[in-house]
Amino acid sequence: MNDVLTSINPATGKEIARYKAHTDKQVNAALSKAADTFDEWRRLPFAKRAAVLKNIAKAIRKDMDRLVMLATTEMGKPLAQGYYEVEKCAKTLEFYAREGARFLKDEVIETDARKSYVSYQPLGAVFAIMPWNFPYWQVFRAFAPTVMAGNVMVLKHASNVSGCALAIEEIILKGGAPKGLLQTLLIPASKAESIIDDDRIAAVTLTGSTQAGRKVAAAAGRNLKKAVLELGGSDPYVILADADLNLAVEIAVRGRLVNSGQSCIAAKRFVVHKAVRKAFEKSYTEAMKQATYGDPTDAGSRIGPMARVDLRDELHQQVLKSIEMGAKLLCGGFIPDMPGAYYPPTVLTNVKKGMPAYDEELFGPVAAIIEAKDDEQALKIANDTIYGLGAGILSANRKKAEQIAAMELQAGNCYVNDFVHSDPLLPFGGIKQSGYGRELGSYGIKEFVNIKSVYIK
């Protein structure tokens, strides 16, 4: 009997749909189709690949309402954030359609040869393992550069957003793509490793937890296949004594509550200079109290439910344990008496090393405030984490803040006086246990290519 993947509306707790998992026979057929499609797609000139990406972007915009509502229903994303996410996917497709050929242009190298250059050639079928929190963006930010480079993609999405996963394949076909350019496999996570093992898969990209990253890295390493891993984060935001506190509070609220707090690069730990800690803490707590949560289809709801009840309950336990260990609760910190996976905006202060709020990723609308006696200690606390995805620095002294962002903060994405967010123009990825490799920008399109030296005597 086939596995069944179930989607549950996190706002109501009610079942939306059940999907039969693909059989081994269907998976095998999909991998063969991917190999055949790659052999044709890689030979197309950049202009023809670009035309397909542009048409997919048009198809996305034409079907935007349905796509957004599907994400809201399956994982609780507030509607306004859903529209932003889907539009960002379309813009990223257009970005790589416009810039891909330039990024992958042959690079002439002067040697003793008559002619020598570096050529960027696609690898094959890339296996993408994607999470539920940005059900469209996570896929398309990998898909756009990967296929523009001449590869094809096989997608294993999170089981709770199977409807979104199928919609992605459908919208790509509506854009005029060949049938094997992206294929969605409805399979449980336990079958991912066997796909990585398959010779028809050339590489793998994962966005997910650090635990999942270790498993995928081990399987890819065993097969000597390229992998890009974008994993967890516990992003620190350092607020110096000279920071504009109004701006700091605004950024801290936006950065912590993006996607209802369910983002790898959401602001999570606020390391505040002792000279401004009390003032920041008071204003920030009041702002978090005012952030409304509720029905994600209601325009007045800034925060929707968390994606699953078990994830909400796990977050609540992290909060309770931190309080038991000495953290002080300033707001939130309770499970609402209502259906669904809701959790209120929560602020903890007096957070110390050893507490879950200090050491672990808080994947939901919970903020941890940590006091630092001076700038040196603030940076030490900021870097005192197993993660290294994003980090922020807030200061009126932009030159000093830039030096700290560029040279001192240990993360792949460091922002000054703004919250960390991804941009198609810039490479995105982490260090330490936040993974390796880069997506987006000119660097992302070169992750899944053979950087080939061509030498003519």
- Which residues are known to be catalytic? 230, 264
Determine the longest span between alpha carbons in the chain, in angstroms.
76
Give me 218's structure tokens: 């081990």
CA 390/CA 20 separation, integer angstroms: 37
Neighbours of 314 (CB within 10 A): 13
Beta bridge partners of 183: 154
Question: If you compute the radius of gyration of the chain from its CA atoms, what whole number of angstroms results?
Answer: 23
Which residue is associated with the tokens 């800034």?
302
CA 83/CA 71 separation, integer angstroms: 10
Give me 368's structure tokens: 């941890």
Question: In terms of Cα–Cα distance, which of 64, 70, 66 is closest to 83?
Answer: 64
Asked whether the beta carbons of 133 and 307 are under 8 A apart, the reply is yes
Which residue is associated with the tokens 């294929």?
183
CA 3/CA 273 separation, integer angstroms: 52
Which residue is associated with the tokens 């936006």?
254
CA dihedral 277, 282, 286, 287 (to 10 degrees): -30
Give me 319's structure tokens: 């909060």
CA dihedral 48, 54, 58, 64 (to 10 degrees): 120
Asked whether the beta carbons of 173 and 179 are under 8 A apart, the reply is yes
Q: Please provide the DSSP assignment of 71-121 as one string.
A: HHHHH---HHHHHHHHHHHHHHHHHHHHHHHHHT--EE---SSSEEEEEEE
Contacts of 296 (CB under 8 A, 6+ apart): 11, 72, 76, 77, 78, 79, 304, 305
CA 15/CA 177 separation, integer angstroms: 32
What single letter denotes the amino acid at residue 126?
A: V
Asked whether the beta carbons of 168 and 139 are under 8 A apart, the reply is yes
